[in-house]
Amino acid sequence: MMSDKPFTWLFLCLIWTGPVWGMAAMAKVDCPLQVKATVQDVQQNYASESPMAMQRVHFTVDETLKGDASSELEVDILKHGPLSVEIGKQYHVQMRDGKLCSLDIL
């Protein structure tokens, strides 16, 4: 039965893998503020241990790549989320309207 219509099976398998390829692609991030910054301090919110607890990260801006940035930035990220930062490490920070778009270690 399968050998009678190999192209049909190939086409069907390609259709099933379509959502996987769509999830693997990363959208282009274009934010108005882009800087290279070093983490100076991370303030933990010890009062809340919920999965949605936030922590405030204080950055010192080393270089402005795009937009107007002051010498320091503050960003709130999830304490138990996929992003983690280390004090003293440099990151490529992208923001829009005071909210974090992207955070990559350099």
**Can you give the pTM of this predicted structure?**
0.67
Domain ranges of the chain: 33-105
Identify the CA nearest to 88 among candidates 52, 57, 67: 57
Amino acid at 57: V
Considering the chain, what is the average pLDDT of its residues? 82
Topology classification of domain 33-105 = OB fold (Dihydrolipoamide Acetyltransferase, E2P) (2.40.50)
* Rg for the chain, CA atoms, rounded: 21
Q: Which pLDDT belongs to residue 56?
A: 92
pLDDT band at residue 37 using 50, 70 and 90 as cut-offs: very high
